[in-house]
Amino acid sequence: MGKTKTLLIDYAEPMKRKEIQAFYQSLIKLNESKQSAADVYFHKNKNLLINAYYEYEEVQIMNYQTQKRELLAQKELWSKKICGGCGSKLRLVDSSYGKFWGCPGFRDKSAEHITFPTNYGEIFASRYKNVKVRINAHWATDIIRMTNSSKDLKAAQLVRLYGEEGMGDLRKKYGYKSTLKSISGYVTAKKNSFREEIEITNALSEFFPKSKTQLGIRYRLKDEYEKVAIIDFVLSDDQVVYLIEIKRRIYDIQIEQLELYFALMDYIMKEADDDRDCKGLFMVYSEETYGFTIDEKYIAFESVRNKASKLALKSIFNKNAEIMGR
């Protein structure tokens, strides 16, 4: 390691189950009160936000129409075999690259001359069919930015509030996947990671009678507010405590997170006169990202999934711990 920065801890203490539940409850409540603040903001600024919606839609429709017009103009030139740059009649050129329609005036640099592949008719048809009103997946975020509402609204809230005004989801209206589905992607990701955590903790806790999932720690760093850290998984025996941070993909790894957990655990163990060793390690679930190169060490869940002994597990843990002991 060697790069662990020193964190100045005022205090750190493990939380009881009940406290953690209360903590999650307070997060939910906070979310609800944010929701009603968003409603108030929306209704105060209704004209601005409703106009922004229609303006946004209009710009996309205008882009769509421009694109169609330009394509049709090209098609017209194609069917008349005329250069759009200089008006010359195109001719079929047989070059070493194959045949194409080119402008005889191509040497005159004062105009932009045209060339058409011989199958332009088909190309046009497929392009024309694919011209769509393009609605960015982040359209609600764009509107929030345009109206300077970033402090007061989240994209999902804005989409919901528009919906209450009978203004549909712009994405859905123009045939895309609905915006809320794309915004709420992280909820699904979080659910999956719970499932993955359960699989990992079930597979490993068998060898460590003292195991704990979702260990909550209430702490305060110098000059900061009190915060709560939730460590995914703690395995321990008489000699060592392993702090395991479970990640779905290796590029989710953040070394600062493990450094904080390690520092908190170190503090708690010192307070309790617990002189066991402590190691911090990342475990990555998703096999498809193992090829990605990063500086940090991590353990692929695949490599420990079927380990038959505690000794084998510990040897892998010790070799691949990102933070090596106190």
Where along the sequence are the contacts to Zn ion (CB under 5 A)?
Answer: 83, 85-86, 88, 103, 105, 113
Q: Classify residue 265 as exposed, middle or buried by CB count within 10 Å of its CB (0-12, 13-18, 19+).
A: buried
CB-facing half-sphere around the CA of 266: CA atoms within 13 A: 17
CA distance readout (Å), 210 to 85, 185, 215, 260: 79, 35, 12, 22
Q: Specify whether the CB–CB gap between 36 and 160 falls below 8 A.
A: no
Return d(Cα 103, Cα 82) in angstroms, integer.
8
Beta-strand runs (E) in 61-102: 91-95, 98-102
Residue 84 CB, nearest distance to Zn ion (Å)?
Answer: 8
Q: Which is nearer to Zn ion, 108 or 287 (CB)?
A: 108
Nearest distance in Å: CB 95, Zn ion? 17
Dihedral sign (CA 59, 61, 67, 72): negative
Dist. CA 263–CA 267, nearest whole Å: 6
> Please, which residue, 116 or 301, has the CB nearer to Zn ion?
116
Buried b (16+ CB within 10 A) or exposed e, 243-261: bbbbbbebebbebebbbbb
Taking the CA atoms of 29, 33, 36 and 38 in sequence, report the sign of the dihedral they define: negative
H or E element, residue 196:
helix 185-205
Question: In whole angstroms, how close is the CB of 92 to Zn ion at the nearest point?
Answer: 15
Q: How far apart are CA 57 and CA 78, in angstroms?
A: 32
Closer residue to Zn ion (CB): 83 or 255: 83
Query: Cβ of 279: how many Cβ atoms within 10 Å?
Result: 21
Q: Is the Cβ of residue 103 or residue 284 nearer to Zn ion in the bound state? A: 103
Kindly tell me which of 73 and 294 has the beta carbon lying closer to Zn ion: 73
φ and ψ of 218, to 5 deg: -95, 130
Residue among 103 and 135 whose Cβ is closer to Zn ion: 103
Task: Tell me the closest approach of the beta carbon of residue 102 to Zn ion, in angstroms.
Answer: 9
CB of 90 to Zn ion, least distance (A): 8
Please, which residue, 104 or 325, has the CB nearer to Zn ion?
Answer: 104
Rounded least distance, CB 104 to Zn ion, Å: 7
Minimum CB–partner distance for residue 39 and Zn ion (Å): 59
Tell me the closest approach of the beta carbon of residue 81 to Zn ion, in angstroms.
Answer: 11
CB closer to Zn ion out of 83 and 235: 83
Please give the C-alpha separations between residue 280 and each of 204, 241, 246, 256, 297, in angstroms, as whole numbers.
Answer: 15, 9, 11, 11, 10
